[in-house]
A and B are shown apart, each in its own frame.
Chain A
Amino acid sequence: MAEIVLTKVKKVYPGDVLAVRDIDLKINDKEFVVLVGPSGCGKSTILRMVAGLEEITAGTIEIENRVVNNIAPKNRDIAMVFQDYALYPHMTVRKNIAFGLKLRKYAREEIEKRVQEAGRILGISELLDRKPRALSGGQRQRVAVGRAIVRHPKAFLFDEPLSNLDARLRTEMRAELKRLHGRLQTTTIYVTHDQEEAMTLGDRIVVLKDGIIHQVGTPLEIYFQPVDRFVGGFVGTPPMNFLNGKLVAENGGVMFDEGTVKLVLPQNKHTAVEDMVGKDAVLGVRPETMHVADSAHSENIMPVHVDVSEPLGENTDLYVSTASNKSVVARVESHPGLEMGKDIKLAVDMEAAHVFEVGADAKNRTVEHSRFAS
């Protein structure tokens, strides 16, 4: 029943570096939560405060209904996997994995049993007598995970554990970590700057920027209902396109006027944007919600010029310029006639588009909330 609750958690580093601002977050028992955000947004700081490696400036952190602010890391019953693996170079794999158990005075047979078990689960049984120096990156990664799981802790904390691996191993280990979580069902907080990793691993994702939580939600919520422009732009590859323009009312409908084209908002979205009519707005369009226009499309069509065409197989990424000379990326079904230099027409699926308001709050911070997020 290891629930982790952060209440108004704040971190100020010496030198008045405000790294985390009043974060509220509840991680449920057995949940796999991913903290994601650009480098420097405070992910590691949050994780390290949960681990007890960093003092909490203000607020409380509870693990299993116990406030741990003043509890030493070793008494929090958590395990952490570091980006650089932090394997003890002078100990064999076996000793690395057993170190925590030994310090906790487990019986010799129990230690051996658990080391063997971890070795089996992670496929490193043959490596137990090697030193970390003699292991590949992927193997070191497994040992680091092994060291975390032998203690059967209340929670796992991962700080960018895959970022030192090459792309193929990363995908492989990603799947393995997911499988491991399915098997052990241990509450997990996982930090990464890679949105794809976040999407594939998390039961829920916490999107952070500048020490603030922008959105908490399931991967699909984050993807389909980003609360603001930052989240919309951060999640998804290629990233969401943003068009600047104005909302206008015409012929009983609401349109987004980009200057050279007008895109019609579907009826069911009118109420959400009623008060924005006549004002500046940003339209968010995911590359995969654009299609090459054919006879079936009659509205929301944008004439564009193909600057670069990248066939990926089934799909092709088109880097195009609009009539107003704005760069846009579209991911469309591959077919002939999409070569560089061609002039084509793209149809925008306005059902899937996002409208972000443009403005400033009382503190003069930019506000780019989505009008469609629930």
Chain B
Amino acid sequence: MANANDVAAAKTGAHIEARYSIGHLIVYITLVALALFFLLPFIWQVLTSFKTLLDTERTIWPSVWVPRNYLKVFEQIRFGRYFFNSIFVALWVTTLQVTTSSFAAFAFSRLKWPGRDKVFLLYLATMMIPPVVLMIPNFWIIMRLGLYNSYAGLIVPAAFSAFGTFLLRQFMMTIPSSLDEAATIDGATEWQVFTDIILPLARPGIIVLSIFTFMGNYRSFFWPLILIKDDALRTLPIGLMYFDSVYGQQINLLMAGSVMSIVPLVIVFVIFQRQIISGIQIGAVKG
């Protein structure tokens, strides 16, 4: 016993030493510098949002602080409306995409059908097509479906996702098949295996996908830009463009609006910090 304790103590000692070694110091300094570097644009954004228009071109630090910029955003554009649209669309997209992805992932990881893995490869292949290339065909299809300039036009194309399917399939593949076999023998139908066994166990993957999908869609710019004509249907990124357009350039207000638009993302991040990090790791490790 004494021996074991000694070994443990020795290990801890080694650990402390390692933590303060020169190598670690360099790593730490580099990481902190990088973190600050990535924060810079954000700091600039916040500073700019409190500047007068004149200041935006002249100084880094506001010569006068103008919190009223934030109110002005509400006066000049329908910020609340855009905000609602963004959240509304992102929530729908997230719900639908996670639902369809989990169905598809179940089919690709659990059900046995001829050609399954070949079809899945095709799925993967679509992930290699740059999204811009799909913009025009997608636009054409949505026009034909009569969904131009509508919520549905924003939601439907994003309701299905090869990436989501891929992510959840990889996750479900790690669930031992003896669990579904046990459930099958216990009397579960395929549907019950899905809802009672696989879905609950795939929860971490589903949370990660939900967060990524929500954040991705909330920020999406190009598709709403070409698809939406009515001011009332605009999402935040499009609505904020008012401040950087032919009607004038008000960088300070643009930044104030952007800061406010980030709030939901920050909330999501704070709540789901752990899942987001593990999600990035899933992506990193599983490739």
Contact = CB atoms under 8 A, between A and B. Distances in A.
Which secondary structure characterizes the binding site on chain A? loop
Contacts of A83: 178
Interface in B147-197: 176, 178-179, 181-188, 192, 196-197
A5 interface: no
A99 interface: yes
A282 interface: no
A74 B184 contact: yes
B187 A104 contact: yes
Contacts of A78: 185
A253 interface: no
A72 B192 CA distance: 15
B96 interface: no
B182 A82 contact: yes
A80 B182 contact: yes
Contacts of A100: 185-187
Interface stretch (A86-94, A183-191, A216-224): A86-94
Contact of A103 (B178, B179, B181, B187): B187
Place the interface of chain A in its size category. 20 to 34
A84 B178 contact: yes
A103 B184 contact: no
Nearest to B178: A86
Given A82-B178, A84-B178, A74 B197 contact: no
Given A74-B187, A104-B187, A86 B192 contact: no
A71 interface: no
Nearest to A104: B187
A51 interface: yes
Contacts of B181: 51, 53, 73, 80, 82, 86
A147 interface: yes
Contacts of A52: 184-185
Interface in A38-69: 51-53
Contact of B176 (A53, A84, A104): A84
A88 B187 contact: no
A285 interface: no
Contacts of A51: 181, 185
A332 interface: no
B251 interface: no
A45 to B, nearest CB: 13
B49 to A, nearest CB: 45
Interface in B184-218: 184-188, 192, 196-197, 200-201
Nearest to A83: B178
A79 interface: yes
B210 to A, nearest CB: 18
A73 B176 CA distance: 18
A86 B187 contact: no
Contacts of B182: 80, 82, 86, 88, 147
A84 B180 CA distance: 13
Interface string A206-229: 000000000000000000000000
B102 to A, nearest CB: 16
Contacts of A74: 184-188
Contacts of A90: 200-201
Nearest to A78: B185
A147 to B, nearest CB: 7
Contacts of B196: 99
Contacts of B176: 84, 86
Given A82-B181, A99-B186, 8 more contacts: A52-B185, A74-B184, A74-B187, A86-B179, A88-B182, A88-B183, A147-B182, A147-B186
11 contacts: A52-B185, A53-B181, A73-B184, A82-B178, A86-B176, A88-B182, A88-B197, A99-B186, A100-B186, A147-B186, A151-B186
- For the complex of A and B, list the 4 residue pairs with the smallest distance between their C-beta atoms, beginning with the closest: A100-B186, A86-B178, A103-B187, A86-B182
Interface of B: 176, 178-179, 181-188, 192, 196-197, 200-201
